[in-house]
Structure 1
Amino acid sequence: MRADSALYMHLDAVEAPTSSVAFHYSFEADPLSVRTALFDTLGWLGCQLSEDDAGNLELVLAEIFNNIVEHGYKETGRGTIVLSIYPQNDSLLCSVGDAGPALPDTCLQFLECQRPVPENLPEGGFGWYLVRDLVQDLEYKRENGRNQLWFRLPLSREPIRELFPLR
């Protein structure tokens, strides 16, 4: 990580409008920063999740972050990814945003179509299906030059509010 990374990354716990503790993290869209963001996110949240839930969260976020790095900011090589997580009773409400180009229509089709046979997919074509299988309420919106992806990750253990007491 660069020495001036504090300018590009922040990590804090704040009260969200719903009075639940929220996790907000922004970072440079590059492979090393993605690894750091996953490590920090799981460090904040993972020890309070079941092993399966932490693994699902890591898989979903890794797929989304890597797609943004590899495709969203491919032309410029620079950009920022913003992650917000709002713990709910039995799930995590997550938001991932970036200012890269709009998601292509072909990617949006993955949100609706049936799962293909993995052997018939081109290289890298299965990530969206994994994400869609692991999350609920997956939504994408392009607004004011920004991409915003919202989803809910169901948890096997409840209630999460006890794990994250309000300040």
Structure 2
Amino acid sequence: MATARRTDRTTVTAGHRELRVIFPSDSLSVRDALASTLRGLRHLELSDDEASTVELVLAEVLNNIVEHAYSGRSERMIELQVRHDADGLSCATFDDGDPLPGLQVPPGPTPRPDAPTDLLQEGGFGWFLIRELSSDLSYHREEGRNHLSFRLDVARQIRTM
């Protein structure tokens, strides 16, 4: 089994704080990266709702990379960057997996609340959640790497005592 590289780094530049996590593309590493990211954002004193939004959106994005871009190939790496500024959290992911179909973010169907759960379409609901809970969603592929970026409207200002 290959040894995977994992780094967590927080840097501060010009009053902005950035958290960067690089980790292997497997479910356990995604869970660890989410926990590490939320710990790295503790200083923002996110409300429970804000923390849940951050965790949900990041989990959907990162698990999509594991399941679809890498199709379970765990020897590959994912990079997550989260930057806090006056407008909230700017998030970006980078991976060298398969591109998104059509080189664009899937539309993510609007779920029907009256549909029986056994008839719900597999896939796509995560993209609906990502679209609903984030803004400025953008995807492009450059030199064989996927780059997805989005903004989360949380922690618009650092809370002080």
Measured against the shorter chain, the TM-score band is 0.7 to 0.9
Distance in 1, matches of 2:106 and 2:40, equals 33
**Alignment CA distance shift 1:24-1:106 (3 Å):** closer
Distance in 2, matches of 1:109 and 1:36, equals 26
Distance in 2, matches of 1:109 and 1:66, equals 15
**Alignment CA distance shift 1:22-1:152 (3 Å):** same
Distance in 2, matches of 1:70 and 1:26, equals 17
The Cα of 1:74 is off from its aligned counterpart by 1.1
Aligned with 2:20 (options 11, 24, 27): 24
Is 2:43 the partner of 1:44?
no
CA contact (8 A) 2:17 2:85 kept: no
- Give the alignment's TM-score, normalised by structure 2: 0.84
Letter paired with 1:154: D
Give the match for residue 90 of structure 2.
93
Q: Percent identical across equivalent pairs?
A: 41
Q: Aligned-pair RMSD on alpha carbons?
A: 2.5
Give the match for residue 151 of structure 1.
150
- Give the alignment's TM-score, normalised by structure 1: 0.82
Distance in 2, matches of 1:3 and 1:72, equals 20
CA contact (8 A) 1:86 1:94 kept: yes
SS of equivalent to 2:92 = strand
Aligned pairs, number: 155
CA contact (8 A) 2:21 2:81 kept: yes
Q: Which runs of 5+ in 2 are unaligned?
A: none
Distance in 2, matches of 1:75 and 1:148, equals 19
The Cα of 1:104 is off from its aligned counterpart by 0.8
**Alignment CA distance shift 1:12-1:129 (3 Å):** same
